[in-house]
Structure formats: structure tokens, C-alpha cells
Amino acid sequence: MSDLKDNRLVRTFAELRGAGRKALLPFVTAGYPDLATTGELLKDFESRGTRICEIGVPFSDPIADGPTIQASYTDALAAGVSSDGVFDMVKSYRAGGGRMALAAMVSYSIVYHHDAEEYLAGAAEAGFDAVIVPDLPLGEAGAVAPLAASHGLCNVMLIAPTTPPRRRLEIAENSRGFIYYISVAGITSERDRLPDAAIAAVADLRKHTGTPVCVGFGISSPDMVAMVCEAADGAIVGSAIIHRITDAKDLARDQLVRKVGRFVGELLAPVL
């Protein structure tokens, strides 16, 4: 399998690690509240120092997303957001000079429906650097990961608290770009704190792999970002950001972008 050393996501983590720094990975739903706003949010996040961003591709039956992200997917789909529209938005971001590493959080149902080869080629052409397919089991990843790599894409895999130790190492061995460690069993949502066991598990995992480990699910404040990044290479924040987009939906686009961007700036503070 390709080592993907020229991949933007791989390079970014290598640069951060070389500088002794960690990453914040904000999550946005593509097309929520509309694709133009998503593009503006990406530019704002980058201007504040964000190096990596996750983009959720709306799907009618998400695997582990809580009500906040599910509602954003529902609204985006109702507005007609499609994979082609998401790709066009990313192309526009790249054409405007956007340099963040971008990872698509996408259901395998969407990838399969479009034909895996065609979808991954389209994602790479648009300017994505990685795909995160939460409903792709390890056994099926053996076919998808080389296909993704052939298009220069990392196939990021997930490890849950319930994943047995041996299987964790197998997933870590097959994940490219970074390993997505799910901090708690259940669905995404904002939480006041994360289990101590999650931080200990990440610290242990990093002893066995050189691949960066990032923690998601439940991170909602700068203090939590700082706590996670004591052990992990990065912190993923989704529901807390989507919550603030929802609260600002009735504002003008530039006001929404500034308001959400300020929150992302606060989350970035511990890792800048």
C-alpha cells in the first residue's frame, strides 16, 4: 500500500509532529445551512490557523451521529445537497487558494452507490485528502484502502472503546492519515468531560503505532481540547460547532461565519 507521503493530510501531521504541536479538526456538515456558507466557514477556519477539517457528506441514516448532526444532515438533504455539489464546493475552496487538509466523513452507502472507484476519484479531483467511512468494517477496508490510496487519498479508520485490543492494532495498521479514536460508546454529542479511560487508551495506542491518533465524540470546549491533546495528536469537534451554526442560522452569512469562526478560534487556542 502507498505510504501517501505526498498526501496533504500526511504532510500536515508530519509538520505538526516535527514542531511538537497538536491539531484541532473542526467538523462541518456540507451544505448546512447551504454550500456557499460551508465554503466561507472553511476559509474562516483556515484564516484562524486550522490545518485540517472534516466535512460531513449528508446521509439519510448516519451511523453514530447524535441529534444535532443528524438534523443538519436532514436539512442539507432537504435543500438538495448532493455529492456532486459537495465536490464542487471543495473545488471552489481549492481554486480560491484553500490549503487545509480535508477529510470527507461519508457513508459507504454513498460510496458504493456512486461506484467506489468513481466516488474516490471524484473526491480526490475535488480536493479532498482523505475519506472517513464510519460504516466500513475492517474486512471490507482491504478493498477500499488501496483504491483510495491509488487516488492519493488516506482511508481513515475508527476505533471504538469497545474494540478488542488485538483488533485495535489491526485497525491502526490499516488506517492512513490518522486513526479516529471514538472517546465514548454511543452517539456524537456535547459532553462536559471525557472518560479517563479514553485518554489512557489513546496513550496506550500511541505506544503501538506511529500513525497519528485523533479523538472525537463529545469534545466541546478549549479545556477538553487541551486535555485530549495531552495524549492524542488531535481533537475532533463536531456537535458543538454544528450547534452554533444552528443557533446562528437566521443571521446573515457573514455574521454566522464570524460567530462560528470565533468559537473555532477559541478551540484552536490550546494547540496554536
Active site residues: 54, 65
* 70: its cell numbers: 443528524
Return the number of other C-beta atoms located less than 10 Å from residue 43's C-beta. Answer: 15
Produce one character per residue of 236-252: b if its CB has 16 or more CB atoms within 10 Å, e if not: bbbbbbbbbbeebeeee
Cα-flanking dihedrals φ and ψ of residue 65, to 5°? -80, 135
Q: Which residues pair with 159 in a beta bridge?
A: 181
Triad 88, 157, 183: Cα angle to 5°: 110
Q: Give the Cα separation of 141 and 153 in Å (integer).
A: 13
Return the number of other C-beta atoms located less than 10 Å from residue 26's C-beta. Answer: 27
Give the β-pairing of 213-216 and 23-29.
unpaired
Q: Give the Cα separation of 33 and 138 in Å (integer).
A: 33
Give the β-pairing of 101-105 and 52-56.
parallel
